[in-house]
């Protein structure tokens, strides 16, 4: 568990895309960010207060989150001074970069000296159990994709937001670095050892109130040969009651795999339902979330309506149109 | 790659079952074992020569293999003397125990001193790549199970033996500790980090002659919620041309999961075929391997015939009846 609230460190992000993690926190947990810290040359802006380390501490910031992904995932020299200042001023650090805070001797030493924590969210911090497959109380919804990076995290977050606005009990459950940094907790599933993947998902979504929903962030795709094992562990560890199919139209091929064409939503529905019912006979596909970010407004509405008619399931772009109809379908 | 031939160390194995690894080597690679070394109280016997360390070295043994699994996977004090002697005499050590040779300071020091290797086959020794999903030359057959510990390894080894006897090009590809110790190479798949599972299987089964068969050892089961992610990675990383269904009749429930009943062979066939064809449209289920070890001769024959009739696929207990019919079906 990463302590909140955060100071968002944008470093020298060359563009908005590089600050994806900070943007996610700003979009989904704005109440967790007291402000941002930018270095000269930074071209990203979260449109929140620019703060120094001391100002952030004065506003109660507990953790500096590295909200920027730079080329190669390296912790650059120009960042180190700021990170050291943050530790000295009493903040923890959190990062999802490939290179670890814990591999920087200067940071490790300073953190020890000040009793602060370094959170490398790519490294599992728990010895997860082997899954026991037991039925848990509470409800679970899993976003499953036809491909990687297709909107599964945003879909789960949209559903959580809509549920909370309705006063329903709902928890987004992060399974990737960005999701963990957004919410301050979760499981970095793609870094977990194979035998413990499904157990890590069970750990992430424990027994809960009967009317509580876990909105589980999906990973990879059962159709993506590089990562399908992770997707499988999410279906069997998550024991979802409801599956939301996530798709982005017009992808020329599977992400990173020119030889693999997109599969149909029908095959996705049939495959995940077959697999989901192995652990939960009541599992249903309850809706479809389309990522229409590359389309204009009219084109998107037409496309969504067409898919809804074809599939006979509530279909929306949840980020564009809201997740109300997906939540309606969950009862 | 573990150097051969081996001296099989049986320690103080309380019974034959505890010496499963040694038995596997004896059964499948007898030419690799120059002899066995047993301690007082050992109740297992491979029916090969009992040798001292020096005698084993004289016969050319390159590696002492711990062929016994003791309670808790611990390296007991009574074993340490023998292991140290082996290192001093110039042998490497190989172990599949939960506790690692590399965690025993006395062994680490002695190995360094004598330039010997400690092989802990539960630890991946390679930085596996992320799977690229590319089609490889050569043929691949994967054993898939309705449950864990159901005969997948023996099935793949039986097929390899039959193929070699026919002069076909065939390689058993180990994906678990016992298989790795039997053959001296492989991937400890359940210990690989999630993102690299499918890549590890690709690494294990690279491009090969067009008429060469990889016989890939399965792990877990697509029906077993604790390990299904590993099974999924084998199907997508292995890109099998042929799938053999492995089953053991009359299991009361899935291994370790009293709440999970066995699923039908029909559902197993349909599920693995659906998943296999995502990466290889030509993938077929070509046969069924039944583990009838709990049945008498007549009962086993009757049962196998009944399943063959029901499923319309060549069906055998390959350990009991040989794998000829499974190999016939592979062309």
Reported as a single tens digit per residue, the pLDDT across B225-281 is: 999 999 999 999 999 999 999 999 989 899 999 999 989 999 999 999 999 999 999
Whether the CB-CB separation of B176 and B165 falls below 8 Å is answered with no
Q: Over 80: is that where the pLDDT of B287 sits?
A: yes
Under DSSP, the state recorded for A196 is G
Q: Which residue among A134, A189, A233 places its CB closest to the CB of B259?
A: A134
Rounded to an integer, what distance in angstroms lies between the CA atom of residue A305 and that of residue A288? Answer: 11
> Contacts of residue A276 in chain B, CB cutoff 8 Å?
none
Tens of pLDDT, residues B50-75: 999 999 999 999 999 999 987 666 78
CB contact under 8 A, B193 and A195: no
A289 to chain B, closest Cα gap in Å:
22
CB contact under 8 A, A226 and B191: no
Whether the CB-CB separation of B147 and B223 falls below 8 Å is answered with yes
CB contact under 8 A, B259 and A227: no
Report, as an integer, the average pLDDT of A300-314. 98
Optimal mutation site among A176, A229, A276, interface B, most CBs of chain B within 10 A? A229
Mean pLDDT is lowest, of A12-26, A62-76, B88-102, B184-198, for: A62-76
Tokens standing for residue A50 = 């620019």
Q: Which residues of A touch chain B, with CB atoms under 8 Å apart?
A: 130-135, 189-195, 197-199, 222-223, 225-233, 236-237, 239, 254, 257, 259-260, 263, 270-271, 274-275, 278-279
Instruction: Supply the pLDDT for residue A148.
Output: 93
CB contact under 8 A, A133 and B225: yes
CB contact under 8 A, A232 and B229: yes
Q: Which residue among B192, B198, B278 places its CB closest to the CB of A223?
A: B278
Rounded to an integer, what distance in angstroms lies between the CA atom of residue A160 and that of residue A156? Answer: 6
Tens of pLDDT, residues B163-191: 999 999 999 999 999 999 999 999 999 99
Residues 6+ apart with CB under 8 A from B133: A225, A226, A254, A257, A259, A260, B236, B239, B279
Phi, psi values for residue A220, rounded to 5°: 55, -145
Q: Which residue among A133, A228, A263 places its CB closest to the CB of B233?
A: A228
Q: Which residue among A232, A237, A257 places its CB closest to the CB of B133?
A: A257
Tens of pLDDT, residues A222-237: 999 999 999 999 999 9
Report, as an integer, the average pLDDT of B102-128. 96
Residues 6+ apart with CB under 8 A from A62: A3, A4, A5, A6, A91, A92
Rounded to an integer, what distance in angstroms lies between the CA atom of residue B187 and that of residue B204? Answer: 7
Tens of pLDDT, residues A99-124: 899 999 999 999 999 999 999 999 99
A66 to chain B, closest Cα gap in Å:
23
CB contact under 8 A, A259 and B134: yes
Phi, psi values for residue A127, rounded to 5°: -85, 95
Confirm whether the ipTM is greater than 0.85. Answer: yes
B180 to chain A, closest Cα gap in Å:
17
Instruction: Supply the pLDDT for residue B330.
Output: 96
Tens of pLDDT, residues A128-162: 999 999 999 999 999 999 999 999 999 999 999 99
> In terms of Cα–Cα distance, which of A298, A305, A310, A308 is closest to A329?
A308
Q: Over 80: is that where the pLDDT of A73 sits?
A: no
Size of interface A-B (CB pairs under 8 A): 127
Q: Which residue among A190, A191, A228 places its CB closest to the CB of B232?
A: A228
CB count within 10 Å of CB B176 equals: 24
Instruction: Supply the pLDDT for residue A157.
Output: 98
């Amino acid at each position: 568990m990463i302590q909140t609230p955060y100071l968002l460190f944008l470093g020298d992000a060359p563009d908005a895309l590089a600050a994806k993690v900070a943007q996610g926190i700003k979009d989904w947990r704005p109440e967790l960010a007291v402000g941002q810290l930018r270095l000269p040359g930074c071209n990203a802006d979260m449109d929140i207060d620019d703060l120094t380390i001391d100002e952030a501490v004065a506003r109660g910031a507990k953790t500096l989150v590295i909200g920027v992904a730079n080329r190669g995932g390296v912790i650059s020299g120009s960042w180190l001074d700021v990170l050291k200042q943050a530790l000295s001023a009493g903040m923890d650090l959190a990062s999802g970069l490939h290179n670890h805070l814990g591999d920087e001797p200067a940071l490790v030493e300073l953190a020890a000296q000040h009793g602060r924590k370094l959170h490398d969210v790519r490294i599992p911090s728990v010895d997860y159990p082997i899954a026991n497959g037991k039925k848990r109380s509470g409800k679970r919804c899993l976003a499953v994709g036809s491909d990687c990076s297709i909107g599964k995290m945003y879909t789960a977050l949209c559903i959580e937001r809509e549920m909370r606005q309705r006063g329903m009990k709902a928890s987004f459950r992060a399974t990737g670095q960005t999701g963990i940094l957004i919410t301050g907790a979760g499981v970095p599933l793609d870094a977990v050892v194979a035998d413990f993947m499904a157990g890590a998902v069970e750990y992430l979504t424990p027994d809960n109130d009967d009317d509580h929903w876990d909105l589980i962030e999906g990973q990879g795709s059962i159709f993506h040969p590089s990562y399908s094992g992770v997707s499988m562990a999410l279906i069997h560890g998550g024991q979802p009651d409801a599956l939301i199919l996530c798709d982005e139209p017009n992808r020329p091929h599977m992400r990173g795999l020119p030889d693999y064409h997109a599969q149909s939503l029908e095959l996705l529905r049939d495959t995940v339902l077959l697999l989901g019912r192995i652990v939960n006979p009541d599992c249903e596909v309850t809706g479809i979330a389309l990522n229409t970010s590359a389309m204009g407004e009219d084109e998107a509405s037409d496309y969504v309506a067409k898919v809804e008619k074809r599939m006979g399931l509530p279909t929306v772009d949840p980020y564009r149109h809201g997740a109300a109809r997906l939540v309606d379908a969950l009862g």
